[in-house]
Amino acid sequence: MISVAYIGPSGDWANRLECLPELTRCNPSEAGTAPGGGGHRRALVAIEQALGCNIVFLRLGEADKAEPAKFDREECLSRLSPGTVLVDLDGEANWWSEEAELRLKQHDVLFISATTIRDLGSEVSTVLISGHQDAYAKALPILQAIDSVVYCGPRLVHAHAVALMNQTMYLTGRLLNLESVAMGFRAGLALADMVEAINLSSGRSRISEKLLPVLYKDGRTSEQSLTSAIGDLNRMIDLGTALGVPMPLTTHTRSLLTMGANMVGAGADLNDMHTVIGSMAGILVGKQPVEVVPSHRSELFDRDVSSTTQAPIIGYVGLGTMGAALARQALSVASELYVFDVSQARVRQLVEMGAFAASDILTLARKCDVIMLCVPTSKDVQNILFGERGIADELRTGKIVVDQTTGSPFDTRMMAEKLRERGVALIDAPVTGGPKGAAEGTLVTLCGGDPTAYAVVEPLLQRMGGKVSYFGPSGSGQAAKLVKNALGASNRIIVYESLALASKIGLRLDLLDHVIERSSGWTAGFRRVIAAIRTGKPTADVKLAWYVKDLVLVSQMASAFCVPMSLANTVRARVEAAQNVLGANVNVDALAALFKIPLTYSEEKNETI
């Protein structure tokens, strides 16, 4: 018959194990009471009984430092019976090292390490186990009786490394979301609108799904203390240091949490970081947003756009990877589509599909009711509109320009004002979803500009595929896109940091996918990167130069609104340095190489990452 003991204080693990029949339980801290007292004697007797069990769960923490009767771990080791399985619940304790495991083997004692992980807002946890496989097999029936169990690998550190990876991605992601939403607030965006756009994009995460929708609502949820969160990041950084894995983004997250703990004082928890980040961004008075921006949904989102006026003549300028994909969609909504690009080969591809080639942009502007642009930068948009041989003077009153470039919200507002003086509206309408999203009809188009002009182009954009969202005045669509891009890029980098550690320590890709997918640290970036490693296919058809460009725009927007965005700026610096090494024209997935993450994986061999 298997006998089970728990040596440790009251708490989470003690409560879990209470379901086991005839559990021997003792608290070593009671051994530190006055020698000769009743509590002292009972504790020593209980410890003696516990050390005679087949499976011993040990969670000491600081108990081994109790005075005056110090709990002697070494003595504990020597008194365990041959064949005993020792389950370490203290993962961070240096004493339980692989050197200790060798000493245990000399006594014929098997050693496994255990920790738990759970999804955000869930009461259901998963027990992560690592260590000797025979010990795991012996303890498995007991473990399965208390929770679902995942075996992480033969090294004692594996289980805690997985848990620390998840916690690192969760804590960093949480602060990244707070930073990005704060910048959006300063740009005049509504929280509900930002949350919807983020959750339809690569910026999506457990935090954006479950935390952001209730941000700044009354009441505090039960959260981890900042002291505990900082401790988790300390262990992650220490592990990275031992393995030679730099962790600048994780380190910066620790610094922000430490700042928060110092500012708030005793009892600070993760709820308080909402106030800390909000105050740093200048959006809070007390603990509430300075100005609650109303959502535009009730005004515009629910209108019936199924019945529309006659299809307009559309002109499309800029037929790069994204522009060509959007122009192909425009073919289905325009009575006639005129296209222009500096590459005649790109123009011919669209002409073969039914478009007309415009001889120049001035001709295109004269012929078309709606002129759509998708070019590299806002400077290119300015040149098309107001540069030498720009089209602004050819645009008659009532025409609409739709800018689908990802650009500066400030440049967009300036251009919109200059066009408004000519009786022409400019709608900023950058998209998320890439060429694949355009082809599959799953784009998200983020719009800003005059509401009347938006009402004209909204049905066109909807029929071009996907969700169309209105965020407010001119530049608001660009601001929303940059909020989303800040999260998407930052999520990617923290995933790379974590996977670099996983690669060094020998964790299996299928294990990480299984565990993180169901945990608080999950992000769309994690899913994309894992899929790319597994299949060898790129996460996106994006050059590193465009990634850098967007992160620079994020930095400029944050600076203009006096929002620190310190995590996103750490990411920008990391990516800019990568561009200097890798070159501007490589795919963004080349970033993985700088973290020494393999780009191929064999399911058949069940390889480690």
Active-site residue list? 481
Please answer whether residues 319 and 364 qualify as being in contact, where contact means their C-beta atoms are separated by less than 8 angstroms. no
402 vs 418: CA distance, rounded Å: 15
Q: 3-class DSSP state for residue 523?
A: strand
Radius of gyration of the chain (CA): 29
**Beta carbons within 8 Å of 223's beta carbon, 6+ residues apart:** 269, 270, 271
Please answer whether residues 478 and 325 qualify as being in contact, where contact means their C-beta atoms are separated by less than 8 angstroms. no
Sign of the dihedral defined by the CA atoms of residues 344, 348, 351, 355, in that order: negative
Three-class HEC string of 316-368: EECCCHHHHHHHHHHCCCCCEEEEECCCHHHHHHHHHCCCEECCCHHHHHHHC
Instruction: Tell me how far CA of residue 188 lies from CA of 285, 448, 474, 551, in angstroms.
Output: 16, 11, 11, 20
Pick the closest to residue 280 from 185, 195, 156 (CA basis): 185
The beta strands (E) that lie in 104-209 are given as: 110-118, 125-131, 148-153
Residue position matching structure tokens 């900082």: 230
Please provide residue 174's backbone torsions phi and psi, each rounded to the nearest 5 degrees. -60, -50
Residue position matching structure tokens 């800003």: 448
Q: How many residues does the chain have?
A: 609
Instruction: Tell me how far CA of residue 552 lies from CA of 3, 197, 380, 442, in angstroms.
Output: 61, 21, 16, 27
Q: Residues of 202-217 as b/e, b for ≥16 C-beta within 10 angstroms?
A: bbbbbbbeebbeebbe
Task: Show the tokens assigned to 530.
Answer: 């894992």
Strand order in the sheet with 425-428: 356-357, 336-340, 313-317, 370-373, 400-403, 425-428
Please answer whether residues 501 and 239 qualify as being in contact, where contact means their C-beta atoms are separated by less than 8 angstroms. yes
How many C-beta atoms lie closer than 10 Å to residue 585's C-beta? 10
Bridge pairing between strands 356-357 and 444-447: unpaired
Task: Show the tokens assigned to 478.
Answer: 């660009």
Instruction: Tell me how far CA of residue 514 lies from CA of 450, 522, 592, 601, in angstroms.
Output: 46, 11, 21, 16
Three-class HEC string of 11-79: CHHHHHHCCCCCCEEECHHHHHCCCCCHHHHHHHHHHHHHCCCCEEEECCCCHHHCCCCCCCHHHHHHH
184 vs 448: CA distance, rounded Å: 13
Bridge pairing between strands 313-317 and 370-373: parallel
Please provide residue 289's backbone torsions phi and psi, each rounded to the nearest 5 degrees. -55, 140
Please answer whether residues 181 and 292 qualify as being in contact, where contact means their C-beta atoms are separated by less than 8 angstroms. no
